[in-house]
Amino acid sequence: LFLRFTKDTARFKDELDIMKFVCKDFWTTVFKKQIDNLRTNHQGIYVLQDNKFRLLTQMSAGKQYLEHAPKYLAFTCGLIRGGLSNLGIKSIVTAEVSSMPACKFQVMIQKM
């Protein structure tokens, strides 16, 4: 999936460039919107925040579904991790939900 999206784009300068691609182009193609916020500590950790994550918007905003929300994020974590892997970046991707439908994905780049 990532390779198909990147075949017509210029090669990326660095991992921040790749993360920007994930937040803009890739997220828009998959979820019909861009990531709302991208943060980094410039040491290999990136936090992608989506304030209205498409896979959680159908669930109630009530607390009763909050415990089930991580199940809906596991697929997306794998999608991010696999895409980065195809671009030569090994990573660990985790997700958290504190209030639905907002969520954060943390990407830890694994140095080779």
Q: CATH number, domain at 9?
A: 3.30.1380.20
Domain residues for the domain of 89 are 1-109
Place 85 in a pLDDT band, splitting at 50, 70 and 90.
very high
Mean pLDDT of the chain: 86
Query: How many whole angstroms separate alpha carbon 10 and alpha carbon 74?
Result: 30
Q: Please tell me the pTM assigned to this model.
A: 0.85
Q: How many domains does the chain have?
A: 1
The pLDDT value given to residue 75: 92
pLDDT in tens, 99-111: 888 999 999 999 8
First to last CA, the chain: 23
pLDDT in tens, 15-29: 899 999 999 989 999
